[in-house]
Amino acid sequence: MKVLLINGSPRKTGNCYSALSEIAKTLQTEGVETEILWIGNKPVRGCIACARCKVNNNGKCVFDDDVCNQVSAHFAEADGFVFASPVYYGQPNGALLSIMQRALFSNGAAAQNKPAAVVTVCRRGGATAAYQCLQMPLEMCNMPIVTSQYWNIAYGREAGEAEQDCEGMQTMRTLAHNMAWMLRGLRGDNAPQLPAREAWQPMHFIR
């Protein structure tokens, strides 16, 4: 089993990395392979709703000049996901949010039914709003949400300060144990059959 941990901070070894590292170390004690994937700090495009990824681009976003398709290429090999973001004005990092929107829209089939969680890190406030924002795409993609003893939040400003948040780090470890438990349940010999999905029936409210 493998969990992909996506570091959505422009700072490669900042507090998001500290939180993800705590999760990764704990998952490894449970026998789960991990990979921390950093999205980098280069410009990331936003989705323009062209839908070409659904028509003729084989599950890839039509914009192939940033990290989005590199991230979504890992979806098939992963059994679970953790997305981590710093908090900017009570919101997630825009680059990570754009990647999630584009990658899950273009290649969400490769992530469906796989457990996922989000982590937010902030200096003081806004973490819960960013946390809720990042969870919404996962719920729309039929990805079981992995919970913890609290919202998956850690506090710190300078790099490494989140490691001093003892409750935050404990929350990360509990999240990791819960992720491993869920993965074993879904992948074991007695794992339940995945639920059947009805054909999508889209509509809007314009009469």
Task: Give me the CATH number covering residue 103.
Answer: 3.40.50.360
Per the structure, how many domains does the chain have? 1
Q: Rounded to an integer, what distance in angstroms lies between the CA atom of residue 3 and that of residue 25?
A: 12
The pLDDT assigned to 207 comes to 58
Residue 201 lies in a domain: no
Residue 202 lies in a domain: no
Contact predicate 138/103, CB 8 Å:
no
pLDDT, block means (10 residues), the chain with 207 residues: 98 98 98 98 96 86 96 97 98 98 96 97 97 97 96 96 97 98 87 84 78
Residue 98 lies in a domain: yes
The pLDDT assigned to 201 comes to 84
**For the whole model, what pTM was predicted?**
0.94
Beta partners for 116? 81, 145
Q: Which domain holds residue 59?
A: 2-187
Residue 96 lies in a domain: yes
The pLDDT assigned to 30 comes to 96
Residue 76 lies in a domain: yes
Residue 10 lies in a domain: yes
**Which of 127, 130, 129, 138 has its CA nearest to residue 168?**
127
Phi and psi at residue 39, in whole multiples of 5°? -80, -10
The pLDDT assigned to 1 comes to 94
The pLDDT assigned to 54 comes to 87
Burial of 91 (0-12, 13-18, 19+ CB in 10 A): middle
